[in-house]
Chain A
Amino acid sequence: MFFRILRKSLSRQKGKVLISMIAIIMGASIPSAMLNVSLDINEKIGAEFRKFGANLLVVPKSDTIEIGIGDISLSSVKDQQYINESDIYKIKTINWSKNVFGYAPFLYQVVSAKAKTNGEEQQVVLTGTWFEKNISLEEGEIFTTGVRKINSWWWNVEGEWIEDIETISDTIYCMIGKSVAEKLSLNLGDEIEVTYRETVQETTKNLTVVGIITSGGSEDNHIFVPLLVAQSLTNRENRVHTVQVSALCIGCPIETIADEIETKISYIEAKTILQMTNAEMNVLEKIQMMLALITIIALLATILGVSTTLTTSVLERRTEIGLMKSIGAEDRKIGALFFAESSIIGLLGGFFGFLIGIVGAQFVGILVFDSLVTPQVIVLPIVLGISLLVSLLASLVPVKRAMGIEPMIVLRGL
């Protein structure tokens, strides 16, 4: 019987239910967006941390180059500074060199890439690196290193890996990220024309796609070429932006390795991924705090709005409430009816708010992190809980009013 009354009472006041529900939807969509964003970003950072082959990033001092993990980038290029390619070998000359499993230099440049097959053109990051390079160490030892060594286990490559080259020939091979392949509709074997424009000068090279990389990270948006190609295209002989170092570190002093590298190459900084993660976490924390604040304000506004609507509804229904009481309803049954009504409004509103929050999370994700946000299922119960709480808080005042209504108002014929 209770549910029969509840259902009919709700469907009777569709307008008010809708208004309250919209208020809850708006209120709930904000924590939903917030939680989706922060959980997803946390997860991504965590996942990158786990799967990232490299755990040290070498950058020029006072570096302002875009540093990031995976597809989360939080700072941007302002002033270009470089590391000399000829200095990189020194990384393998430190005391802890045995723990240096591999490293790879990176030179980045935004170029315009044009697919020869269909003429589509896009601005893309062209990344020059070593793939599998043999280096002679001082003792005459040969050391093989490059992205293939440090990253191969989490880059999923369709087609072939490319090889490093000593001289630039007519046919240059490249690997492209999955997103680049999608944007330019490229397949294995297709040709791309990349153009680097400086103020007056324009350099163009033709590349043949031999591999497509899926990493789930920022690599998906890059075109990879041998370092030499990137250097010659952008007139930066012997230069690289960063070096990723993979140190095998089971209980080894990663900080010491970083310090040693810094003393060997005086003009660089070696950051552990942990540090970067912390730095990003700080930014993330600030964003989260801001979102939390907005959430609280939004929820307070929701409580106020819903409370007002429900109070109006109680006033409109006071004869009905008086009647229920006069025919024997105890206060707690009246309270239960109104709490149940607002719980339903709260839960439904919470559900739709959750959905809208997911959409909102995409905007935040794209705006702030340049990445789509994967919806997190765990957010649903949390948001439902919050909406339920909000709707129950909002109904405290109206329910109290309802319980205070005197049964005699019915007989008086108000």
Chain B
Amino acid sequence: MMVTGYIQTHNLSRVYDGQTWALNNVNLTIEEGDWVSIIGPSGSGKTTLLNMIGCLDKPTEGSVVINGITVNTLNQRQLTQFRREQIGLIFQQHYLIPYLTALENVLIAMYYHSSVNEKKAIEVLAKVGIEHQRQLNNKPSKLSGGEQQRVCIARALINEPKILVADEPTGNLDQKNGQVVMDLIHNLYEVGHTILLVTHNMDIAKQGNQILQIVDGKVWSSN
């Protein structure tokens, strides 16, 4: 096959407000099953890159191709659908819907994707260590930061995405909880998920098989 690379970007740029070049002519190739760690100073464009690959935002110039599909040509609806099918998102702050329980926060992703299967949701939550009835039925405000982030991971995994995009998933966690989350991500890598992970922690970054450094919107690859 001619096309190599599971995820590719071609001359990808993102300009905010016509002046801030958050990404500047980025060309990347990521293979299926890779773990790509993204490092770089604050404001360098890491989140912007994840937005592009995570199909949350569209490039100003250039293109993003995932699994042979040029995603920036999709319309809003197709993009939503593509994201739902292919990508699991884990955010820096563990965003959960405040009025739903841990279990429901996972169920809602199933609901938007296809149909709700409570048994499966409980299984996936058990995999990330949320298994007590009390934890399942607690609202996010009654869960610890680590527990919240684990619920987010369960939510990202529930629809079995191929690609996992994580923006500083341990950024708000203490050492111990961070370790739990990283172990989970490591497991996912081992079972074949493609992982893009932004981090400030060099030790974490080194667990990946590729490290991208971003400075002022430009990407420097280093293996």
Binding site for B on A (CB under 8 A): 1-2, 4-5, 8-9, 11-12, 319-320, 323-331, 333, 406-408, 410-413
Contact = CB atoms under 8 A, between A and B. Distances in A.
Given A12-B99, A324-B97, A328-B113, A408 B56 contact: yes
B97 A1 contact: no
A412 B93 CA distance: 10
Contacts of A327: 84, 89, 108-109, 112, 155
The 5 closest A-B pairs by CB, nearest first: A328-B84, A12-B99, A328-B112, A408-B56, A1-B111
A400 to B, nearest CB: 14
Nearest to B100: A8
A15 to B, nearest CB: 14
A323 B95 contact: yes
Interface residues of B, number: 32
A330 B57 contact: no
Given A327-B89, A408-B51, A412-B47, A320 B97 contact: yes
B50 A328 contact: no
A329 B80 CA distance: 7
Given A5-B111, A328-B109, A331-B77, 15 more contacts: A1-B116, A8-B99, A319-B95, A324-B97, A324-B112, A327-B108, A328-B80, A328-B112, A333-B112, A406-B56, A406-B57, A407-B56, A407-B83, A411-B51, A411-B91
B124 interface: no
A120 B192 CA distance: 96
Could you say which of A319, A327, A328, A407 has the most chain B C-beta atoms within 10 Å of its C-beta? A327
B104 interface: yes
B167 interface: yes
B98 interface: yes
A93 B87 CA distance: 99
A9 B104 CA distance: 12
Interface string B193-216: 000000000000000000000000
Contacts of A319: 95
Nearest to A403: B76
Nearest to A330: B80
Contact of A410 (B91, B104, B109, B111): B91
Contacts of B95: 319, 323, 410
B107 interface: yes
A213 B47 CA distance: 86
A329 B109 CA distance: 8
Interface in B51-110: 51, 54, 56-57, 76-77, 80-81, 83-84, 89, 91-93, 95, 97-100, 104, 107-109
